[in-house]
A and B are shown apart, each in its own frame.
Chain A
Amino acid sequence: MAEPATATQAAAPAVALLKDELDIVIPTIRNLDFLEMWRPFFQPYHLIIVQDGDPSKTIKVPEGFDYELYNRNDINRILGPKSSCISFKDSACRCFGYMVSKKKYIFTIDDDCFVAKDPSGKAINALEQHIKNLLSPSTPFFFNTLYDPFREGADFVRGYPFSLREGVPTAASHGLWLNIPDYDAPTQLVKPLERNTRYVDAVLTIPKGTLFPMCGMNLAFNRELIGPAMYFGLMGDGQPIGRYDDMWAGWCTKVICDHLGLGVKTGLPYIFHSKASNPFVNLRKEYKGIYWQEEIIPFFQQAVLPKDCTTVPKCYIELAKQVKEKLSKVDPYFDKLADAMVTWIEAWDELNPIGPVPNGKAA
């Protein structure tokens, strides 16, 4: 299990589920060679490439893929002054791809993530598993000890109330990583050789009221249900922090999902994460975050959204207000971030003019 899969063609599905309803969003600053390995699984789908860094550089997309590509010039042109909310020199820029997509579902993956193998040696079609996760309900109100009850060979256990067995719509599917695990810089420094070789054959719903650290390297979500909450914040160039983009989006998303009665799943699928980023560079980026998260976590744990926030954008604007009120005292960065959150929603509304789909009841 310590190598990525090679025979992916054999594992390609006969039918590409949701092929006209899902966009694959990939941020990149280098190249897209990794796509070659994913070809049998990804080729039926439309790609949105968000090119970070120097816009004058040409990123070559392998032949045969249907894609649109945006560099910084495109982002500035399309959003005008609102482009200030999109990070530069950080993979957080990927959320621009969510905004310009016209599809119902998004799958996002990093360019150093390859196809993993399951314990039997078979290549894992991560996209297919994410789709299965998104298309089956979540069960956030009561924990099922046999994990995802909708999976083949599983079900609800004794004691699980029947009234809760229909579940709720799944807003996001959070996948995991074999090989290089998603550790923070201090852990990477202490355990430079640790590799994740444990294949945990489970998908589970993260209970309502519980927060988790959402990693953006292998993530899928229902854009119609939760898209506006997936803002990856202000990171990278000119910002005091990095590597907290996906974390921020995950905490906002989870609070909103809990409020609106939507589900978030974690577990399968695994991808094979090949590149360990430089822990010293990471430490510098994360440094402030390590202290700030001690304030941020209680903030999100205690955040309450009013009953009249019945749509994601309304919830998000309310959260932005609370960030400004409660986190600005931690650092002026949060004041800027709160403003950027509002700009994001304004930009989202501009690019997605049809009103948001009303989702669920406010908790």
Chain B
Amino acid sequence: MSLAIKDDEVDIVIGALRSDLTTFMNEWRPMFSRFHLIIVKDPDLKEELKIPEGFNLDVYGKPDIDQVVGSSTSILFSGYSCRYFGYLVSRKKYIISVDDDCLPARDPKGFLVDAVAQHISNLTNPATPFFFNTLYDPYAEGADFVRGYPFSLRGGVKCALSCGLWLNLADHDAPTQALKARQRNSRYVDAVMTVPAGSLIPISGINIAFEREAVGPALVPALKLAGEGKCRWETMEDIWSGLCVKVVCDHLGLGVKTGLPYIWRTDRGDPIASLKKEWEGVKLMEEVIPFFQSVRLPREATTVEECIVEVANAVKERLGSMDPVFARAAKAMLDWIKLWQSVGSSSSRSSAV
């Protein structure tokens, strides 16, 4: 039921926080090699990147970022946020992004999971946010809408974002992982489902894909914790970005899916050491979630850019005085939209930097 997707419609964007990408690239080779890749090197990374041969890719580093973005922006494309630069310069319709410490997973039958193919399938099949289907994805092989599902809603809407999951090291916060030091996720849940409209979800940046042409500007590199670090436990930027995307999608009638594909996340970092840094993020969530739950976008906001500007203004108004990190986030969101309008989106512009 999915539309055929052409290989040249996809960019795989990798934010490199580690210099040696050899194992990472080689393990993903069967899934990545058909596609163009954009690798963005974390500006804070000193070492040269080691990338194996045989890929069609473009690598961007600090000099490129500075040249394109310059000092015109408050956005810091450092750490995990470096990948957003890749989203900005991409000219493809779809983007798939995984963290550089993730490898292909195996399904319960032992087969390697092609996360790229699954994300593409999620994005090209409709989403069904207005009513929950108890058999999950109705477009999956061997499934359908259940009795009681209104027929007028069975066409679905466009799926703008696909959120995958993680085997082994799941995306828990530092306190949880520290408490359950040995817990690893071994449960393979064979389902894709649409996140209902009006429901918020913590979107992890570890394994995502989206239609850049539909929602690109809504993935905002905005929330930078004062003590943000190089472990996911020490960040909240993707959670913030995901909340923005979900609010915008709900407003514009676009869908967000969660579930398959799984990737295998390698053990890394020390949650106890990260506790101190991420505690800040954990506390902020208590304000962030109620804010996003209550944000209402005006009818006049009909484009993604307009929606993000509205959210940014609401952030400044309602959260700005609570913590400087929010005032900075609001500014970064507005800068991002300006950047997007000048550098990004238009596919008629050349991609050369």
Given contacts A191-B144, A213-B148, contact A196 B135 (CB under 8 A): yes
**Chain A residues whose C-beta falls within 8 Å of the C-beta of B52 in the assembled complex:** none
What is the CA–CA distance of A198 and B152 in the complex, to the nearest angstrom? 26
What is the CA–CA distance of A209 and B131 in the complex, to the nearest angstrom? 10
B132 touches A182 (CB 8 A): no
A119 CB within 8 Å of chain B: yes
Q: Which of B159-193 contact A (CB under 8 A)?
A: 163, 165, 170-173, 176, 180, 183, 185-191
**Chain B residues whose C-beta falls within 8 Å of the C-beta of A163 in the assembled complex:** 286
Flag B101-128 by CB within 8 Å of A: 1 or 0 each: 0000000100000000000000000000
B201 CB within 8 Å of chain A: yes
**Chain B residues whose C-beta falls within 8 Å of the C-beta of A195 in the assembled complex:** 142
A67 CB within 8 Å of chain B: no
A351 CB within 8 Å of chain B: no
A247 CB within 8 Å of chain B: yes
| From A119, A145, A202, A213, contact of B146 by CB (8 A) | A213
B134 CB within 8 Å of chain A: yes
B232 CB within 8 Å of chain A: yes
CB closest residue in chain A, given B129: A210
A210 touches B132 (CB 8 A): yes
**Chain A residues whose C-beta falls within 8 Å of the C-beta of B135 in the assembled complex:** 176, 181, 196
A-B contact count (CB 8 A): 174
Query: Closest approach, in angstroms, between the C-beta of B135 and any C-beta of chain A?
Result: 6
**Chain A residues whose C-beta falls within 8 Å of the C-beta of B144 in the assembled complex:** 181, 183, 187, 191, 194
B142 touches A194 (CB 8 A): yes
B200 touches A142 (CB 8 A): yes
| From A147, A162, A290, A293, contact of B286 by CB (8 A) | A162
Given contacts A153-B183, A159-B239, A200-B189, contact A210 B172 (CB under 8 A): no
B35 CB within 8 Å of chain A: no
Q: Which of B240-277 contact A (CB under 8 A)?
A: 242, 258
Flag A200-216 by CB within 8 Å of B: 1 or 0 each: 11100011111111110
A65 CB within 8 Å of chain B: no
B204 CB within 8 Å of chain A: yes
What is the CA–CA distance of A213 and B131 in the complex, to the nearest angstrom? 8
**Chain A residues whose C-beta falls within 8 Å of the C-beta of B108 in the assembled complex:** 119
A197 CB within 8 Å of chain B: yes
A70 CB within 8 Å of chain B: no
A213 touches B199 (CB 8 A): no
A64 CB within 8 Å of chain B: no
B170 touches A207 (CB 8 A): no
B233 touches A158 (CB 8 A): yes
B63 CB within 8 Å of chain A: no
Q: Which label, helix, strand, loop or mixed, suits the secondary structure of the A interface?
A: loop
CB closest residue in chain B, given A184: B147
A197 touches B142 (CB 8 A): yes
A155 touches B146 (CB 8 A): no
Q: Which of A151-177 contact B (CB under 8 A)?
A: 153-164, 174, 176
Q: Which label, helix, strand, loop or mixed, suits the secondary structure of the B interface?
A: loop
Flag B193-207 by CB within 8 Å of A: 1 or 0 each: 001111111111000
A143 touches B232 (CB 8 A): no
What is the CA–CA distance of A213 and B146 in the complex, to the nearest angstrom? 7
**Chain A residues whose C-beta falls within 8 Å of the C-beta of B173 in the assembled complex:** 156-160
What is the CA–CA distance of A147 and B259 in the complex, to the nearest angstrom? 9
Interface footprint category on A? 35 or more
| From A197, A206, A243, A293, contact of B132 by CB (8 A) | A206
A294 touches B204 (CB 8 A): no
**Chain B residues whose C-beta falls within 8 Å of the C-beta of A160 in the assembled complex:** 173, 202, 285
Q: Which of A199-233 contact B (CB under 8 A)?
A: 199-202, 206-215
| From A155, A183, A209, contact of B183 by CB (8 A) | A155
B282 touches A162 (CB 8 A): yes
B145 CB within 8 Å of chain A: yes
**Chain A residues whose C-beta falls within 8 Å of the C-beta of B88 in the assembled complex:** none
Given contacts A159-B239, A198-B190, A266-B134, contact A142 B151 (CB under 8 A): no
B190 touches A156 (CB 8 A): no
A146 CB within 8 Å of chain B: yes
B68 CB within 8 Å of chain A: no
B155 CB within 8 Å of chain A: no
A135 CB within 8 Å of chain B: no
**Chain B residues whose C-beta falls within 8 Å of the C-beta of A297 in the assembled complex:** 131, 150, 153
**Interface CB pairs A-B, < 8 A, 29:** A142-B200, A143-B195, A145-B163, A145-B201, A146-B185, A156-B176, A157-B173, A158-B232, A159-B203, A159-B204, A159-B239, A159-B285, A161-B289, A164-B289, A181-B146, A182-B134, A182-B147, A183-B145, A194-B142, A198-B143, A202-B191, A207-B198, A207-B199, A209-B198, A210-B132, A210-B198, A212-B133, A213-B146, A293-B150
| Known contacts A145-B204, A158-B204, then 10 further A-B pairs from the complex at CB < 8 Å, ordered by chain A residue | A157-B204, A159-B239, A161-B288, A162-B285, A191-B144, A207-B199, A210-B199, A211-B131, A212-B134, A213-B149
